[in-house]
A and B are shown apart, each in its own frame.
Chain A
Amino acid sequence: MLTGFYGDADIPFLLGTDFGVAVVIGGQTIPGIVDNVGKDSLLSQGVSGVSGTEILVYVQTSALPKVPNRTALTVDGKAMRLRDQNQAGDGAVTHLLCEIVP
């Protein structure tokens, strides 16, 4: 696929091997890498917050369907909802911030 990003054709291989999981979004299945990063929030006077987790999924920008935030998706078979989507670096990879629907 021809895109404006240098090395874009290699990204599916990088995302799909070893750590890659299936991301189903907007009716398409694309490879992605998941990072779960602990993040405390709602602290009060520096204590007693909520120990949450930032769920980041790295996908290829050119493979990602155009979807609005709050779109439902599955990541490695888990149902989630898209909180935000931000391009990283030169824009070839997009970070999907996901949340579990309580």
Chain B
Amino acid sequence: MTDSVRKRIVDAAVALINASPPYVTPLADDTRMQSYTPAELPSIAVFEIREDGQSEKEGRWGYLLKRAFTLRVEIRVAADHPRPIVDPMYVWVGQQLGQQQFGGLAEDCYETLLEWQYADTDQPYTLLQTDFRVEYSTLKNDPSKTQ
């Protein structure tokens, strides 16, 4: 069975983020469920968050479903002053995913929401979540085919 278009886009996004990044570590994890130990930081994790669809009609009938899903990239660091550490990773992710068509699978990809969270336990920790909206289309009756 062929993978869904969305799965192929997420796979491609993770591969793009991990393609020779300018920082030493980390490599991005795909949908990591387990917590990171402090020694594993900095970290990057990629998640699918939500998707909505809309029928794309041409005349009376339409065969395509126009979709948009939120791809979230999470960066976690342990640092007193996190910005100098987070920023190079954020810039790299934005350069790799912004306006990306993932080899013709998507129509567009762009940042829609950034959110920071902070925690202070044994060290100061920071989380930056960057949401990308990925627009693409599939056949209504087959999420693995774009046409």
Contact = CB atoms under 8 A, between A and B. Distances in A.
Nearest to B118: A42
A3 interface: no
B41 A50 contact: yes
B37 A51 contact: yes
Nearest to B49: A45
Interface residues of B, number: 28
B45 A53 contact: no
Interface string A11-32: 0000000000000000000000
A50 B124 contact: no
Contacts of A52: 38, 119, 121-123, 125
B88 to A, nearest CB: 17
Nearest to A51: B35
Contacts, number: 74
A48 B34 contact: yes
Contacts of A45: 47, 49
A99 interface: yes
Contacts of B36: 48-51
B135 interface: no
Nearest to B129: A44
A47 B34 contact: yes
Contacts of B126: 42
Given A44-B129, A48-B74, A102-B78, A54 B124 contact: no
Interface of A: 36, 39-45, 47-55, 83, 98-102
Given A48-B36, A49-B36, A52-B122, 14 more contacts: A41-B121, A42-B117, A42-B119, A42-B127, A47-B33, A47-B34, A48-B34, A48-B74, A50-B36, A50-B119, A50-B125, A51-B36, A53-B122, A98-B122
